Every structure is written in C-alpha cells, then in structure tokens.
Amino acid sequence: MLLSGVTLAASVAEAAPVRQVIGHSALDRPITSWRQGDPESEFRVLVVGSVHGDERQGMRVVSRLRQQLAGRKGPKRIGIWTVKSANPDGTAANTRKNARGVDLNRNFPFRWDGSLNGGYNSGPRPASEPETRTMMRFSRRVGFDLAIWFHQPWGRTLAPCNRDRQWALLYARLSGLGTGGGCDRSRYPGSAVSWQHHTDGTTAFVVEFGPGVQPRAVIARHARAVIRLAKRMD
C-alpha cells in the first residue's frame, strides 16, 4: 500500500507543470516557460502565445493548453513548453514592439535586415534585444522539434515554403484555420521561426488569428490542434 501511495505521488509530481523564468525583458519583466506533458519527452514542442504585444489571442491558446495538460502527462513521449508572451513589456503596454521600440520578430539573427524601421524596426544589430536572446538561448537549450508562434491579424496559418510546409498544412486542417493556399513566399527577415528552422532544424511556423477576440471554441480547437499535430509528427 505504501509503495503504491509513493508511486502515485511521484506520478502526480511528474505531471505538474515545471515553471521556469527563462529570461527578462528590457524592463526586467520575467519571461516564463511552463513545461508539461511527458517528462520523458523525446519530442519537444514550443508554443509561444505572443511576441507582438498587441496580438493577444495566442495567449488564450496557451492558457487553454496549460489547463488541458494540467495534472496529466498528456500524450506519451511528448513534452510541451509554453511561453505566454515572449514580449511581456509589449503585452503590458499593448504595443507590437518591445519597450525599446524593436519588432522582436525582425530581431533574430538569421537574415536580419538592418534597413527595416518604423513598425518593423529590426533593432540596432541582430539579437540586440534581451527578449530575442532569451528565446534563442531557451530554444538552443531545449532543442525543439516543433515550434508554433501565434500572431494576428491575417487570419491564416502561414505555411513556409520549405519542408515544414506539410506540417503547417496539417495544422491548418486540424485547427480549421486555412493557409489560403500554397506556401508563404514572403521572407520575413530576422523572424523567430526562420531562425529556429535554420539553426536547429525545428519545424517552426506562424499561426495568424484574425483581428479581434476569437470565439472560445476556436481557441479550444487550436489548443487541441497543437497536441494532435505533435502526436502525428512524433
């Protein structure tokens, strides 16, 4: 009896989220990750709810996913790391850019373009921003197989024109948020997903919700789609 009690306690502890501050923003706000799912994860998933602080619907997907995985191991061999906002200063101020006026999704070092300014200000140099460096360090440390970054307001799943395309297409089917056909030829210099794909071979893509607040059922369907996609890829 004692033994089974101990075993039960251990498995509950394993299933509890492991919260970790992975870095800090320009204004010293913590950037926090929750690890959930199977602690023996061989397949590692990252979900980022928001990197542009005025695009907030993906944070609801993260909350929903966390709820769904709470107290459960979730799918076997799959570990899920969630970051509600990689831009907590922008989230607090409800601005696209970080507190230093940089578009973090143009600040990653792969194909960084220093000529961008205004709304897409790429920063004074590649990875100049603490939030960018936090996500780079974190990605390198964990080594993600799959990464999904939520944005707004285009209302489609962006399928890259590389081998990740098939998985973005499957996600589009599972979530009900279509790609609009074909793959996305526009290059986004200094973006998080192209850096992850290039550096770690991570399957990484962007999901763009439409503008405004999404229905609760849509948020729930995206949370399920993340898990279903990971299961299909594993």
Q: Is 33 exposed, middle or buried (0-12, 13-18, 19+ CB in 10 A)?
A: buried
Site track 11-50 with Zn ion (rule: CB under 5 A), x = hit: ----------------------------------------
Q: How many CA atoms lie within 13 A of 177 on its CB side?
A: 29
- Strand 30-37 relative to strand 78-83, pairing: antiparallel
Please say which residue, 149 or 167, places its beta carbon nearer to Zn ion: 149
* Residue closest to Zn ion, measured at CB: 151
Please say which residue, 37 or 88, places its beta carbon nearer to Zn ion: 88
Q: What gap in Å lies between CA 101 and CA 96, rounded to an integer?
A: 9
Q: Does 73 bind Zn ion (CB under 5 A)?
A: no
3-state DSSP assignment of residue 145: coil
Please say which residue, 34 or 188, places its beta carbon nearer to Zn ion: 188
C-beta neighbour count of 95 within 10 angstroms: 15
Q: Cβ of residue 10: shortest distance to Zn ion, in angstroms?
A: 41
Contact 59, 209 (CB under 8 A): no
Which member of 151, 165, 221, 222 binds Zn ion (CB under 5 A)?
A: 151
Q: Does 52 bind Zn ion (CB under 5 A)?
A: yes
Please say which residue, 69 or 204, places its beta carbon nearer to Zn ion: 204
Q: Does 60 bind Zn ion (CB under 5 A)?
A: no
